[in-house]
């Protein structure tokens, strides 16, 4: 029986849970679909051991029951080469298969790895450029900056169908987790650090996004809607943001980052240049001692002073 047929059999019990929210098992994005298939394949491989073991356990208990006088009783039995081979070889083969599957999938589904396809059998067109979205987890809301379009939104996200998306993700204060189950797996958002996610949505619609990592009192309200739309509809969505009249300046961001719960959708027609980089490096206030650029400059100055006094050359900070 083929793997596809086995996957279909495994989906039968899932169908019995039709009243439940099974978005993880029926995603709309190619990356999430591949992750779903990895889960199913891994479960099937493990069931190749689990099902026979459970079946044989019940069979042995029934066959060697006290009332079965025809069962052979051999109290001195202690070894069977054939049985030992079965006991050790089958799990070993399963572990090798799982290891190979995990190794290949870990590299193939690396969230930092640029996409090489938008769907099964459809590679990324050479003339298609990924849509860049800069994501900032705030207390307790999501800020999305579109650097190419020059707009920003709060708790509202949109992207064209079948176009690769490059998410650059960070946080303002504490760690969160950026998660759109229909699109891809969760990716952590951490202050002063950037994580990335390369993904694509293949079906139009509105999909739920949220934080999957507890971050305080307003955590339960950190939900947003991801709109997967056509290229024309996305252009209209961008135009609506541009006509909002709001500007996301650094002063506006300082007010926005203050903790708030159940924040409504906001749209910003313009965004200060370099705002995301300043958020990432904690340099919204450029003169702040916590600004990472100032800290690096201070460290570099201290290192130069130390090197001058010792006569040692400074270590380069990048490859030539």
Same-domain status, 166 and 201: yes
pLDDT, residue 311, reads 45
pLDDT, residue 303, reads 42
Q: Give the chain's domain count.
A: 2
Instruction: Give, rounded to a whole angstrom, the gap between the first and last alpha carbons of the chain.
Output: 55
**Is 313 inside a domain boundary?**
no
pLDDT, residue 314, reads 40
pLDDT, residue 188, reads 95
pLDDT, residue 7, reads 59
pLDDT along the chain (320 residues), means of 10: 60 57 82 91 90 91 87 80 86 91 91 92 90 96 96 96 96 94 94 95 95 91 96 96 90 94 94 94 85 67 47 37
Dihedral pair phi/psi, residue 146, rounded to 5°: -105, 95
Same-domain status, 235 and 264: yes
Same-domain status, 250 and 138: yes
Residues 6+ apart with CB under 8 A from 180: 29, 207, 208, 209, 226
pLDDT, residue 23, reads 80
**Is 304 inside a domain boundary?**
no
We report the CATH number of the domain holding residue 174 as 2.60.40.420
**Is 288 inside a domain boundary?**
yes
**Is 305 inside a domain boundary?**
no
We report the CATH number of the domain holding residue 93 as 1.10.287
What range defines the domain where residue 40 resides? 3-65+81-108
**Residue found by looking up tokens 């891994």 in the block:** 42
Same-domain status, 52 and 24: yes
Same-domain status, 58 and 141: no
Same-domain status, 89 and 127: no
Same-domain status, 280 and 167: yes
pLDDT, residue 71, reads 81
**Is 201 inside a domain boundary?**
yes
DSSP secondary structure, the chain, as one string: --HHHHHHHHHHHHHTTTTS--GGGS-SBHHHHHHHHHHHHHHHHHHHHHHHHHHHHHHHHHHT-TT-TTS---TT----HHHHHHHHHHHHHHHHHHHHHHHHHHHHT-TTSPPSEEETTEEPPTTPPPEEEEEEEETTEEEEEETTTTEEEESEEEEETTS-EEEEEEESSS-EEEE-TTT---EEE-BT--EEEEE-B-S-EEEEEEE-S--STTGGG-EEEEEEE-HHHHHHHHHHHHTS--EE-HHHHHHHTS--SSPPPEEESEE-TTHHHHHHTT-SSTT-TT-HHHHHHHHHHHHHHHHHHHTPPPPPSS--
pLDDT, residue 136, reads 97
């Amino acid at each position: 029986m083929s793997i596809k047929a086995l996957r279909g059999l495994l989906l039968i019990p899932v169908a019995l849970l039709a009243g439940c929210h099974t978005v993880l098992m029926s995603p709309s994005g190619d990356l999430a679909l591949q992750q779903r298939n990895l889960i199913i394949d891994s479960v099937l491989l493990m069931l190749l051991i689990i099902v026979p073991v459970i079946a044989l356990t019940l069979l042995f208990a029934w066959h060697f029951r006290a009332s079965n006088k025809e069962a052979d009783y051999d109290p001195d039995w202690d070894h069977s080469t054939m049985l030992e081979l079965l006991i050790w070889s089958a799990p070993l083969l399963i572990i090798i298969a799982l290891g190979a599957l995990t190794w290949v999938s870990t590299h193939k589904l690396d969230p930092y790895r640029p996409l090489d396809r938008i769907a099964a059998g459809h590679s990324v067109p050479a003339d298609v450029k990924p849509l860049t979205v800069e994501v900032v987890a705030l207390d307790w809301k999501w800020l999305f900056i579109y650097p190419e379009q020059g707009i920003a939104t709060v708790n509202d996200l949109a992207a064209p169908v079948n176009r690769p998306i490059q998410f650059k993700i960070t946080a303002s204060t504490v760690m969160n987790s950026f998660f759109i189950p229909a699109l891809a797996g969760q990716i952590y958002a951490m202050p002063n650090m950037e994580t990335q996610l390369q993904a694509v949505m293949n079906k139009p619609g509105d999909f739920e996004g949220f934080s999957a990592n507890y971050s305080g009192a307003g955590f339960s309200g950190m939900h947003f809607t991801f709109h997967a739309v056509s290229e024309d509809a996305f252009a209209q969505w961008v135009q609506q943001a541009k006509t909002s009249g709001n500007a996301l300046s650094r002063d506006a961001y300082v007010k926005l980052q203050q903790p708030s719960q159940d924040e409504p959708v906001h749209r910003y027609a313009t965004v200060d240049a370099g705002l995301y980089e300043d958020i990432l490096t904690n340099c919204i206030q450029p003169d702040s001692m916590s600004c990472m650029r100032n800290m690096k400059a201070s460290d570099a100055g201290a290192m130069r002073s130390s090197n001058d006094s010792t006569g040692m050359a400074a270590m380069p900070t990048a490859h030539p």
